[in-house]
Amino acid sequence: MSDLEFALDTFGDVTVGPDGQLIPQDQVIRDVVEQAVLADELGVDYFGLGEHHRDDFAVSSPEVLLGVIAGRTSRIRLGTAVTVLSTDDPVRLFQRFSTLQAASGGRAEVILGRGSFTESYGLFGHDLHDYDLLFEEKLNLFHRLLQGGPVEWSGQTRPALTGQEIFPPLGPKGLPTWIGVGGSPESVVRAVRYDLPMILAIIGGNPTRFRPFVQLYHDAYAKLGKPPRPLGVHSPGHVAETEEQAQEEAWAGYRVLRDRIGRERGWPPADKAEFLREVSHGSMYVGTPETVAQKIARTIRALGLTRFEMKYSQGTLPHPALMTSIELYATRVIPRVRELLADDAG
């Protein structure tokens, strides 16, 4: 499967230092740059940054940080995981990414979504009651901007465009644009309607439960008489030399993040047995390189993926452990997955 892509992404989770104290966000951002540089050096295909506006995630302006990373790397493709389109302006977003595309020599991508947190709505003056309208209209405009040329557009969520051209225009490579989907049939059909590749965010449960959405994706394309676009999965993971080390490191970071979000959403405290069930049977790709490779290969087979994207940051998991996980993912997991899938084909 030579067209299969392997990606890494992070939200810039705020990590702990050697003394167990939280690292300042400015240092977390510099650490993310080093993590991306390592991924580039080791041959990972794509590096993504998720947009958030919280004190437990340091990345609120992915494009700025991706521009810095572009200047430190040479081949890896750079994008988001995801961009919260609903609370952004599609024109300014397009301009930022067309600039990144030019500066990086054609290595930029964007994954558009609504995100799993809502802080950006109040921060940027949007009403959650307009949740569906905001995304639908802004996606419609962004999709139109991708086509280039003077733009005619009108809607309810921003002023109309009447023949304006947007600068800088995209170069010959365009801008690869994906739709991030959390698991609703409507979102799957929307991706097909705009003829955009789809990333499934699978962060819990057995990944095979998403087979109906994959089938819907293929069926919707079949009705249009078109071949399906690329299909990817984003899931959390952590790789270490032993099973025990991987599980203990991931659990320590995961528990802090899970309990923080749980307090906000009324969930019970994190349960380690539940975490271990996700590791063994769910969508947590944690373990030795062999364990993680076997699990990724099963997911790729089950869903027919063209990209697997591992969120390698796990809450407060320290920077050195993240660097080790990136190294093992790139040098041992990816080659092993390719080997396993080649054996299937042979």
* Separation of alpha carbons 120 and 225, rounded Å: 38
Rg of the chain over CA atoms, in angstroms? 20
* Separation of alpha carbons 241 and 254, rounded Å: 19
Residue among 12, 9, 74 at smallest CA distance from 41: 74
Q: What percent of the chain has pLDDT over 70?
A: 99
Average pLDDT (60-87) is 98
Beta bridge partners of 83: 112
Cα dihedral 326, 331, 333, 336 in deg (nearest 10): 170
Residue 297 CB partners (closer than 8 Å, separation 6+): 337, 340, 341
Residue 102 CB partners (closer than 8 Å, separation 6+): 168, 171
| pTM of the predicted structure, to 2 decimals | 0.97
| pLDDT number for residue 346 | 63
Helix, strand and coil in the chain, % to nearest 5? 50, 15, 35
Average pLDDT (174-189) is 95
Task: For residue range 248-274, list pLDDT tens digits in order.
Answer: 999 999 999 999 999 999 999 999 999
**Token pair in block for residue 278:** 């996700």
| pLDDT number for residue 3 | 86
Task: For residue range 182-238, list pLDDT tens digits in order.
Answer: 979 999 999 999 999 999 999 999 999 999 999 999 999 999 999 999 999 999 999
Task: For residue range 108-153, list pLDDT tens digits in order.
Answer: 999 999 988 999 999 999 999 999 999 999 999 999 999 999 999 9
Query: Omega of the bond prior to 228 within 30 degrees of 0, cis?
Result: no
Distances (CA, A) of 88 to 13, 70, 142, 281: 22, 23, 11, 37
Check residues 66 and 346 and name the one with the higher pLDDT: 66
**Token pair in block for residue 269:** 């405290």
Residue 132 CB partners (closer than 8 Å, separation 6+): none
Q: How many CB atoms lie within 10 A of CB 16?
A: 17
